[in-house]
Copies of this chain bind each other. A is one copy, B any other.
Amino acid sequence: MKGFSKLTEGLIGQPMLEILSVVSAMEAAGQTVYRFEVGDSQFDAYPHVIEATKAALEQGHTKYVNSRGILLLRESICDYTESKLGFRPDVSQIAVMPANSIIDFMMRCVADPGDEVVFSDPGFASYIAVASYLGLKTVTVPVYEKNGFRLNPDDLLPRLSEKTRLIINTSPSNPTGGVMTQDEVQRLAEIVREQDVYLLSDEIYAENIYEGNHYSPSCLDKCRERTIILSGFSKGHSMSGWRLGYAIGPVDLIAKMSQMFETVYTCIPPFIQYAGISALNTPQDLIEKRNRQYKKLRDLMVAKLNEIPGITCAMPKGAIYAFANITGTGMTSKQFADFVLKKAGVALVPGTCFGPGGEGYVRLCYLRSEETIVAACRSMKIALRK
């Protein structure tokens, strides 16, 4: 009677974490590895966030709390949303949970096995992994380097069907760094309204824009009808390991997602929720200062990549990744990633981890020291010259 479920057959995990374990083994064997594979920052959470967490621990905020999130954090999220997007959601529209879990709970609440989920190719690996293990059909919309990797909303239309339950949009995009224009976002919002389909708007990188502004397709329905914003603290506030995010969406859907979260996790630790309140109150000049540092690292990474024969890298407008075109090396993405890991000690992610459309590209998270970026690019240049 023992055995595994059908669900387990679709489990593929997170490819970045698989690379991470290979790299850890190399490091344990004494090798130096320049690591660009994980979408994480060299910067830590702000000191005031660490202090707020410690204070919450001392004050005994360590017991079970409401599975939707403590009211004070949900109200802070409403304030923050109002200041950033110009509308104030009701607290009943907010669910506090890890951002990655939002992808899972969202898909499970609106789609049954065999139903269709639509997103860009290349697109974030977790959309692929979650749809895969849930037995959902993935329908992809190609995005192109020549168009700044921006999704063209009208490309969605021929890909929608009776089976479509959810569109996922990501701007700024992981892995490409593409940022959609205001017109494009507006058109996207119109299409989902016309088609009456759910839209998961992944805005986890909304704070990480270096040129232009962030626009949200929640502009039309204010997350009351069909748009669900996914956001969190991992990227904008350098809190990757804290596992704190939030969804803003229609009241009835948020209720279902919260009930699922309650069944499976009970709640997010309250002292981590207090960290979130503190993070949302980070002075804007600190955020801007960090973004200027990020921009400098981006510029350096892209410049240094472009100095390597066989590699070209367009300037990404947002997020925290360089998405480099390596077709000039004559290698596939996977071959290139294996080659530079072995020959140059550089860990990065093959573009194909983000869908077949990522062939010919590799992703590097550039939130590293300038020295690491320079040394890694020099090492790749030497290895490729041989």
Contact = CB atoms under 8 A, between A and B. Distances in A.
A367 to B, nearest CB: 11
B40 A62 contact: no
B256 A269 contact: no
Interface in A1-32: 1-8, 11-14, 17, 20-21
Interface in A28-60: 38, 40, 44-45, 50, 53-54, 57-58, 60
A76 B343 CA distance: 37
Copies assembled: 2
A22 to B, nearest CB: 13
Interface stretch (A240-248, A295-303, A350-358, A370-378): A240-248
Contact of A265 (B4, B8, B58, B101): B101
Contacts of A12: 259, 263
Contacts of A198: 1-2
A11 B110 contact: no
B14 A263 contact: yes
A139 to B, nearest CB: 13
B195 A63 contact: no
Given A58-B50, A109-B5, A100 B264 contact: yes
A138 interface: no
A232 to B, nearest CB: 11
Given A5-B109, A62-B45, A260-B11, A267 B239 contact: no
Interface stretch (A64-72, A86-94, A142-150): A64-72
A317 interface: no
B108 A265 contact: no
A340 interface: no
Nearest to A195: B1
Interface stretch (A125-133, A207-215, A328-336): A125-133
A264 to B, nearest CB: 5
Contact of A64 (B64, B164, B241, B266): B241
Contacts of A21: 66
B1 A65 contact: no
A308 interface: no
A21 to B, nearest CB: 7
Interface residues of A, number: 75
Q: Which of A66, A109, A269 has the most CB of B within 10 A?
A: A269
A240 B243 CA distance: 17
B162 A1 contact: yes
A177 interface: no
Contacts of A64: 17, 38, 40, 240-241
Q: Which of A8, A112, A226, A240 has the most CB of B within 10 A?
A: A8
A61 interface: yes
A104 interface: yes
A262 interface: yes
A62 B241 contact: yes
22 contacts: A1-B165, A1-B196, A2-B110, A2-B226, A4-B110, A4-B256, A5-B165, A7-B260, A12-B263, A14-B266, A17-B64, A17-B67, A40-B63, A50-B57, A53-B57, A62-B239, A100-B264, A100-B265, A104-B264, A241-B270, A243-B265, A243-B268
Q: Which 8 A-B pairs have the closest CB atoms?
A: A1-B197, A63-B241, A104-B264, A13-B259, A11-B259, A62-B241, A54-B54, A8-B256
